[in-house]
């Protein structure tokens, strides 16, 4: 099911609980009553084309937006959303995940140091990945919007190096499943559940970049004046 501007936000969330992660990144808080997509986008000055495409890509992994629909999205608004997503991951999601991993580590006496080592290594990879986007990719896109094609970079470089950092969670999950004795079932299972949810969330975040950001930037790099028309 694809979402539309007339749908109520409550119905969207009931259709896909995954939107609990997406809505706050647009500044949409729970308690929106009977408001529709059109209502909330008008009230909060959110780009409705961007909101709908992000929600549709995030909740439907097989959905591939049409380029004509993507052209209705302003790149600066997309970059703002992606920056909000990074902030959410770094300030909230990773901190929450760390607290659950620490509870497991504090309750076990075997392989705890290995568990924390792999977790810290994974977090470093996430930070490095986001830092590259924040310091290289996003400024490039902003320059591209303002001044046209830039000789020193292109989105193809980013696409080739856009690795799936969520795959690095596999070692961490394997340690929790195979090598850390379960001293407290509820604590360890909650940590694993959070790891799986975090992995899925990052997968969907990468899809938004691959299926919205990359094709939009490629259109703009053509320099044929079609983007945004």
Domain assignment present for 4: no
Q: Provide the CB-side half-sphere exposure for 200 (13 A, CA).
A: 15
Q: Are residues 146 and 193 in the same domain?
A: yes
Same domain, 47 and 91: no
User: Are 81 and 51 contained in the same domain?
Assistant: no
* 141 domain-assigned: yes
Mean pLDDT of the chain: 89
| Cα–Cα distance measured from residue 83 to residue 173, given in angstroms and rounded to the nearest whole number | 27
6-25 confidence digits (pLDDT tens)? 999 999 999 999 999 999 99
Encode pLDDT of 62-90 as tens digits: 999 999 999 999 999 999 999 999 999 99
Determine what percent of the chain is predicted with pLDDT higher than 70: 92
Query: pLDDT tens-digit profile of 140-149?
Result: 999 999 988 8
44, 96: one domain: no
pLDDT greater than 60 at residue 227: no
Looking at the structure, do residues 152 and 45 belong to the same domain, yes or no? no
Task: Please report whether residue 227 resides in a domain.
Answer: no
Domain boundaries, position 18: 9-63
| SS (HEC) of 13-39 | HHHCCCHHHHHHHHCCCCCCCCCEHHH
Mean pLDDT of 106-132: 84
Regarding whether 54 and 111 lie in a shared domain, the answer is no
- Together in a domain, 13 and 100: no
In a shared domain, residues 82 and 50: no
**Torsion sign over Cα 217, 220, 222, 226:** positive
Residues 32 and 78 in one domain: no
**pLDDT at residue 1, rounded to an integer:** 80
pLDDT of residue 112: 75
Residue 229 covered by a domain: no
Using 50, 70 and 90 to split pLDDT, how confident is the model at 229? very low
Q: Is residue 124 part of a domain?
A: yes
Total Cβ atoms within 10 A of residue 119: 24
Give 228's pLDDT tier (boundaries 50, 70, 90): very low
Is a pLDDT exceeding 90 seen at residue 40? yes
Q: How many domains does the chain have?
A: 2
Indicate whether 3 pLDDT > 90: yes
Residues 58 and 104 in one domain: no
Give a yes or no: residue 181 inside a domain.
yes
* Angle between helices 138-147 and 214-221 in degrees, nearest 10: 40
Q: How many alpha carbons fall within 13 Å on the CB side of residue 70?
A: 23
CA distance 78 to 187: 37
Residues 185 and 90 in one domain: yes
- Residue 16 forms part of a structural domain: yes
Residue 152 has what pLDDT?
A: 79
pLDDT in tens, 169-189: 788 888 888 877 766 678 888
Structure tokens given for 162: 């856009």
- 219, 66 Cβ separation under 8 angstroms: no
Q: Is residue 3 part of a domain?
A: no
Select from 22, 13, 141, 12 the least CA-distant residue to 84.
22
Statement to judge: residues 48 and 92 lie in one domain: no
């Amino acid at each position: 099911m694809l979402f539309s501007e007339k749908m109520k936000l409550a119905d969207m969330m009931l259709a896909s609980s995954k939107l609990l992660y997406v809505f706050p990144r647009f500044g949409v808080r729970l308690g929106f009553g009977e408001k529709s997509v059109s209502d909330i986008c008008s009230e909060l000055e959110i780009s409705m084309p961007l909101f709908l495409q992000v929600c549709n890509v995030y909740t439907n992994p097989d959905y591939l937006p049409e380029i004509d629909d993507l052209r209705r999205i302003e790149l600066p608004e997309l970059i703002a959303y992606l920056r909000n997503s990074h902030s959410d991951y770094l300030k909230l999601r990773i901190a929450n995940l760390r607290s659950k991993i620490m509870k497991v580590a504090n309750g076990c006496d075997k392989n705890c140091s290995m568990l924390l080592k792999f977790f810290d290594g994974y977090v470093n990879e996430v930070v490095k990945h986001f830092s590259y986007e924040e310091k290289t990719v996003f400024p490039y896109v902003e320059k591209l919007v303002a001044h046209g094609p830039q000789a020193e970079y292109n989105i193809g470089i980013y696409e080739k190096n856009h690795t799936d950092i969520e795959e690095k969670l596999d070692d961490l999950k394997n340690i929790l499943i195979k090598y850390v004795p379960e001293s407290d079932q509820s604590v360890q299972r909650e940590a694993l559940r959070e790891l799986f949810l975090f992995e899925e969330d990052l997968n969907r975040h990468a899809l938004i970049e691959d299926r919205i950001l990359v094709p939009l930037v490629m259109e703009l790099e053509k320099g044929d004046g079609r983007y945004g028309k």
